[in-house]
Chain A
Amino acid sequence: MSLEKITNPFNARHWIGHMEADYVYTLGVAGERFFKEIKENGKIMGAKCQKCNITYVPPRMYCEKCFEKLKEWVDIGKKGVVHTFTIATIDINGEKLEKPTIYALIKFDGTCGGIIHKIDETDTVYIGMEVEAVLKPSNERKASINDIAYFKPAK
């Protein structure tokens, strides 16, 4: 003998709930310096591993390949290249956006890594397009990735 099975799924009960939690993330040792450079000096920085001759963007505390602590920081400028992109038509909740938004992975010459951000002030986008960062006015910057308002086609 075994227990009778539920054959009608509507007889199976559910309990509705949610996971309540708020998160506050510190930016980290390297992250805090990176974002402060953008906020206070309007500079996008990378961190260079002298041993491996790699410059990481965003900068990191350590080189993941050789595990050296990274001490040399370099200004990488504001110009980069669209490595790949997508055009979003819905937001994070699945709601339709008023107008499509271009998101791209932007890489910087001679560096490892890149920044994911919006592309604006353009109707066209293509892989290999040269773009440059548009920073928010300095009084609106908060030491966040959104201190970069977006990237636009480079002049």
Chain B
Amino acid sequence: MFGKKRVAIVGAGVTLFRRNLKETGKELSYEAAKTALEVAGLELRDIKSVVMGSAPDAFDGVHMKGEYLADGAGAYHKPYTRVFVGGGTGVFTPLAGWWHVASGQFDTCLVVCEEKMSSCYPHPQYAFTTIFDPILERPIGMNLIWIFALEMNRYMHKHNIKKEDIALVSVKNKRNALDNPIAQLAANITVEDVLNSEIMAWPVQRLDVSPTSDGAAAVVLASEDVAKEVTDNPVWIDGVGWCIDSTHWTDRDLYYPDYVECAAKMAYKMAGIKNPPKEIDLAEPYDPFDYKELHHMEGLLLCKKGEAPKLTREGVTQRDGDLPTCPSGGLLGCGNPIAAAGLMKVCEIFWQLRGEAGKRQIPGDPRTGVAQAWGDLMQYGSVIVLRR
């Protein structure tokens, strides 16, 4: 066993994901955290530690967001940490929660992720300009979308992938989101709609991209003994992995996310998974852009390099396929409140494994799921393997 204690998720909760929510970030954190506690059947006094995840302070426009959000995350007079690894935060936060409990230090940990991107004007993209090197890159006029476009182009070039095949991911995820009550951009669209949408930074078009959002998500973690006391349906965290690649992003070949593979291998080793496509029943790879789902399926070793578009075309990744992928609707359908979106993916695996996903429930008897997020300068992978 890894760590001193086996760790389970015993509750999960999310807010709506919307372009603008009236709630403050604190209030959003509370709504998600309270909902997760109610599902777990626990009170705040049962929580021994709290981990908060939130992306750059520049979105909310509140400096030292961790401290700002603490009371809404239920951290009053408790051991509290905020973690942040860019877009990878949403899956990294429960990993940080895992080591709180697995270490034997705490029996329980409340894990909360929040993002309120609507505060930033004229557009949250602008808050990203300062992630680029101020001397070598910003004078060129960098926009955040460019780096995705550069990566997508390289991926398409390397494997000779058509935009039509990539667009299928957007079509699938937005349709899956029709069955998700929290979703911001659920829709029945076609490949043609994607290909005819506004060119933002070629090859990235409007419908290749997930929207910016406000939202929060939370899970309650418990050690094995506590988990078995409070629920008959614990979902076990059986694998954790995280990895960062070089910050000299222009040195790397962007066609493949090595760092996701590194994080996935770490998590699979811990979970004893030797043949990921065979042993994993569903996946929630990070999909802020449609090509990213494909990119990450490959990094997660769910298929060979360059093979993800084929699986998508053949329907393997649909909810009734052999490897349901983003059954939640993903970021493309539900919206992308960065850290909250990543944790929402963990919540979705939790509901799917417990058979509580309602209209989104995948058929069969799913026992093992993987969620993954990705961030910083296209360099961070965080991976979690959950089992019933």
Partner of A23 from B26, B33, B121, B135 at Cβ < 8 Å: B121
Residues in A neighbouring B119, C-beta threshold 8 A: 23-26
Q: Is B61 touching A67 in the complex (CB atoms < 8 A)? A: no
A96, CB-defined interface residue at 8 Å: no
Q: How many A-B residue pairs have CB under 8 A?
A: 74
B320, CB-defined interface residue at 8 Å: no
Partner of B127 from A21, A29, A30 at Cβ < 8 Å: A21
Q: Is A31 touching B24 in the complex (CB atoms < 8 A)? A: yes
Residues in A neighbouring B129, C-beta threshold 8 A: 19-20
Given contacts A29-B27, A67-B37, contact A21 B58 (CB under 8 A): yes
Q: Interface readout for B114-133 with A: 1 if CB under 8 Å, 0 if not?
A: 00001111100011011000
A65, CB-defined interface residue at 8 Å: yes
Instruction: Give the shortest distance, in Å, between B263 (CB) and chain A (any CB).
Output: 31
Residues in A neighbouring B71, C-beta threshold 8 A: 64
| Interface footprint category on B | 20 to 34
Q: Is A21 touching B126 in the complex (CB atoms < 8 A)? A: yes
A31 to B27, CA, bound (A): 10
Instruction: Give the shortest distance, in Å, between A143 (CB) and chain B (any CB).
Output: 13
Q: Interface readout for A76-91 with B: 1 if CB under 8 Å, 0 if not?
A: 0000000000000000
Chain A contact residues: over half helix, strand or loop, or mixed?
Answer: mixed
Partner of A26 from B22, B45, B138, B139 at Cβ < 8 Å: B22
Instruction: Give the shortest distance, in Å, between A12 (CB) and chain B (any CB).
Output: 12
A61, CB-defined interface residue at 8 Å: yes
Partner of B22 from A22, A24, A28, A69 at Cβ < 8 Å: A28
Given contacts A19-B130, A64-B76, contact A28 B26 (CB under 8 A): yes
Given A21-B120, A22-B120, A26-B119, 5 new contacts (CB under 8 A): A20-B126, A62-B34, A64-B72, A67-B37, A67-B43
The 4 closest A-B pairs by CB, nearest first: A28-B24, A23-B61, A64-B71, A67-B44
Could you jot down 12 A-B contacts, CB within 8 Å?
Answer: A13-B135, A23-B120, A25-B61, A26-B20, A26-B23, A28-B23, A28-B26, A29-B22, A66-B45, A67-B30, A67-B34, A69-B34
Residues of chain B at the chain A interface (Cβ within 8 Å): 20-24, 26-27, 30, 33-34, 37, 43-45, 58, 61, 71-72, 74, 76, 118-122, 126-127, 129-130, 134-135, 138-139
